[in-house]
Amino acid sequence: MAIQVIMPLLGESVVEGTLTRWLKAPGETVAEFEPLVEVNTDKVDTEVPSPAAGVLLQVLVPEGTTVQAGTRLAWIGQPGEQPQESSPADAAKSAEPPATAPAAPSVAPAVAAAPVPPPESAIEPPRDRSLGFISPVVARMVSEHGVDLYQIRGTGQGGRITKKDVETYLASRGSAPPPAEQPAVPAPAPQPAAPVFAAGELLTLSPLRKQIAEHMLRSKHTAPHVTTIMEADLGRVVAHRQANKEAFARDGVNLTFTAYFVAASVAALKAFPLVNSSFTEAGIQLHPAINIGVAVSLGDAGLIVPVIKNADSLSLLGIARAVNDLAARARARQLVPDEVQGGTFTITNHGVSGSLFATPIINQPQCAILGVGAIQKRPVVISDQNLGDVIAIRTMAYLGLTFDHRVLDGAIADYFLAKLIDTLQTWS
């Protein structure tokens, strides 16, 4: 019997995605859990695995189509087998979400669903049962830990095996996911070379570039943008980093300045929680968690903003480790959709390319974004108790806060930025 391939729910709040590339052509064989189609969701490419072994009988949704979770994408079966619905009308119909499907399902519909077994059953699961749809996250965990899925009881819809089911199984057998091996401290990223284009060339828009364009335009049309700029003396941060980067390196962590800006943002967001909010038609929604996005350049491809979840619960070491990990996997295109979702505040370091000032665009639906200018030594006038006003060389940077004037007034924005800078200038 032919098995349908369903568009999965790739993240907690990711209800649709764009098919960017079919990895198999109709008529080609595919193994169970082998990557079948590549889907882009919010700048993240995810490979959707095949739910069964067999032949790709029919592709129902062409590349470049955006579909919702629950949409039928293709049929998998045995050579010569006919899908249950294979007419052109059915194929066109399948490119739309099923009318009976919920608008935002909590789990992707299962394929060839099996009954939900008793949670405490000691009976070994039958090996001939259908495993149903396996999400990309579950497939990756299975591969990393050598798990036999037939040993796991699924608690998801129709007996589907969820990430939590795999974690519970690993914990029960005494092999919970081990901490990732600490990589060597990465070398500073090389400066990208200027792209070379032919005169008169028409550059086709990639899905990522289209999403960036749409998001930036929507943000400027949605929120009245205002930017306030202050400068920070980073002398104490520089001294702290110099004194601690070797110890961090022994833990496999590269202590970058970005970690300090994230930590200082956490302190300021705690002091002024209104900045950790979003504008809605019902009112201003204050967010219970502090989830800080850090913009990462992908070179000519654009940029992406992975999110450090619950940043307020992390030490400087934890923040630095998260920054290293997310940035490295962002550049390697290894992020999963949930890792670019749920941000409540964003930091973009435009200074890495030498920029002193910038007015970044707000990352909707957040209400503010911090822009960090180039860190450089320059002469400044300081007041000395004994010498009076003197000129000294200090390590300085301009920090700009672009904010949604519907949510924040200039005074609150300035208080917030001043608190952030004070945290940096008094670092100990």
> How far is the C-alpha of 4 from the C-alpha of 74, rounded, in Å?
6
How many CB atoms sit inside 10 A of residue 55's CB? Answer: 19
> How far is the C-alpha of 3 from the C-alpha of 52, rounded, in Å?
7
The pairing of strands 35-41 and 44-49 is: antiparallel
Whether 253 contacts 320, CB under 8 Å: yes
What lies within 8 Å, CB to CB, of 307 at 6+ separation is 291, 292, 293, 294, 326, 339, 340, 341, 342, 343
> How far is the C-alpha of 327 from the C-alpha of 192, rounded, in Å?
16
Phi-psi region of 58 (alpha: psi -120 to 50; beta: other; left: phi over 0): beta
Instruction: Give the CA radius of gyration of the chain.
Output: 25
Query: Would residue 384 show up in a list of annotated catalytic residues for this protein?
Result: no
Query: Would residue 287 show up in a list of annotated catalytic residues for this protein?
Result: no
CA atoms within 13 A on the CB side of 419: 17
> How far is the C-alpha of 19 from the C-alpha of 47, rounded, in Å?
10
How many CB atoms sit inside 10 A of residue 283's CB? Answer: 8
Amino acid code (one letter) for 415: Y
Strand, helix or coil for residue 37: strand
**Which of the residues 215, 405, 414, 422 is marked catalytic?**
405
Tokens of 258: 């970005």
Tokens of 223: 């929120």
> How far is the C-alpha of 75 from the C-alpha of 259, rounded, in Å?
47
Q: How far apart are the first and last CA of the chain?
A: 66
Whether 111 contacts 160, CB under 8 Å: no
User: Which residue's entry shows tokens 């739910």?
Assistant: 51
Report the catalytic residues. Answer: 405, 409
